[in-house]
């Protein structure tokens, strides 16, 4: 009788073990099937594509105490969709927040395409024709400095700044320069983005030939950083400039 009960007990244990083993096998199989069903990140998708644009600097009439706005763009190559977000709008300078919005909008997908192309080529050898299914993050810092600021290549003495430009002028203009164009003082009028669109000679009257000469030197040249007044980009800015030319600049 005892032997029979013991045999039944052992049979029960074996049966329970079989059930447990079968259950574990089912759980393991289900886990494997689930993992196989889940999409796995490809090598391209696992890579982080991030770029940093040069800081955009604009000048203004007030001191903003070195505050820097941070803009973050997200670009999806598959949809060609570009969105941006200002990560840290200023708590009180609403007009400048709006100006940063305008600046951020000026960087569209086409303008940023060179950065996106660099990511394809430099990071994994992808081309613009076969982009990975991955979003790109591009960051931009915006800073406003007080007062008008000259561009780094725009010196107060324009003798060296303009020497190479003069050499590219037509021969008859170079001859006129060689025959006595010594320069003078000018008022240079720029648009809000710092490019000269007009000028006035302050040391007399220019002949038609001289007007042509200085037009080729000045017009369209970017001489100061973009300027806004209380966050509103200005249509015009005047810069008084002394221009000095020497014979070697005209030969």
Task: Write the pLDDT tens digit of every residue in 152-188.
Answer: 767 655 443 344 444 555 565 566 555 555 678 899 9
Establish if 244 belongs to a structural domain: yes
**Helix extents (H) in the chain:** 2-37, 43-46, 94-106, 113-119, 159-167, 171-178, 208-218
Do 99 and 24 share a structural domain? no
Do 27 and 49 share a structural domain? no
What is this structure's pTM?
0.64
Establish if 154 belongs to a structural domain: no
Give residue 65's pLDDT band: very low, low, confident or very high (50, 70, 90): confident
Do 68 and 55 share a structural domain? yes
What six digits make up the tokens of 222? 């970017």
Establish if 151 belongs to a structural domain: no
Do 10 and 90 share a structural domain? no
Q: What residues make up the domain containing 4?
A: 1-38
What does DSSP say about strands 232-233 and 56-60: parallel, antiparallel, or unpaired? unpaired
Confidence check: pLDDT of 228 > 50: yes
More confident site: 69 or 51: 69
Q: How many domains does the chain have?
A: 3
Boundary of a domain, candidates 89, 114, 146 = 146
C-alpha 201: how far from its chain's center?
A: 37
Do 90 and 56 share a structural domain? yes
Establish if 81 belongs to a structural domain: yes
Do 213 and 191 share a structural domain? yes
Establish if 152 belongs to a structural domain: no
| Cα separations in angstroms, 130 against 51, 94, 124, 142 | 19, 41, 11, 32
Establish if 219 belongs to a structural domain: yes
Do 98 and 23 share a structural domain? no
Do 30 and 54 share a structural domain? no
In the chain, % of residues over pLDDT 90: 29
Do 136 and 119 share a structural domain? yes
Do 113 and 25 share a structural domain? no
């Amino acid at each position: 009788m005892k032997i029979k009960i013991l045999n039944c007990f052992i049979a029960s244990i074996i049966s329970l073990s079989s059930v447990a083993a079968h259950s574990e096998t089912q759980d393991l199989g289900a886990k494997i099937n689930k993992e196989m069903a889940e999409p796995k990140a490809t090598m391209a998708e696992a890579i982080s594509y991030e770029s940093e644009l040069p800081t955009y600097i604009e000048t203004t009439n007030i001191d903003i105490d070195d505050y820097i706005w941070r803009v973050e763009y997200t670009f999806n190559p598959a949809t060609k969709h570009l969105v941006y977000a200002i990560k840290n709008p200023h708590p009180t300078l609403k007009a400048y927040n709006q100006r940063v919005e305008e600046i951020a909008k000026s960087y569209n997908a086409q303008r940023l395409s060179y950065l996106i192309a660099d990511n394809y080529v430099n990071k994994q050898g992808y081309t613009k024709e076969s982009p990975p299914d991955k979003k790109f993050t591009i960051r931009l810092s915006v800073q406003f400095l007080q007062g008008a600021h000259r561009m780094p290549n725009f010196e107060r003495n324009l003798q060296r700044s303009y020497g190479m430009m003069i050499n590219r002028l037509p021969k008859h203009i170079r001859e006129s320069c060689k025959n006595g164009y010594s320069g003078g003082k000018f008022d240079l009028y720029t648009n809000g983005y710092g490019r000269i669109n007009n000028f006035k000679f302050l040391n007399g009257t220019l002949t038609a030939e001289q007007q042509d000469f200085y037009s080729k030197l000045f017009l369209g040249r970017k001489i100061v950083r973009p300027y806004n007044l209380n966050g509103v980009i200005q249509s015009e800015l005047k810069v008084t400039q002394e221009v000095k030319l020497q014979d070697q600049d005209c030969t």
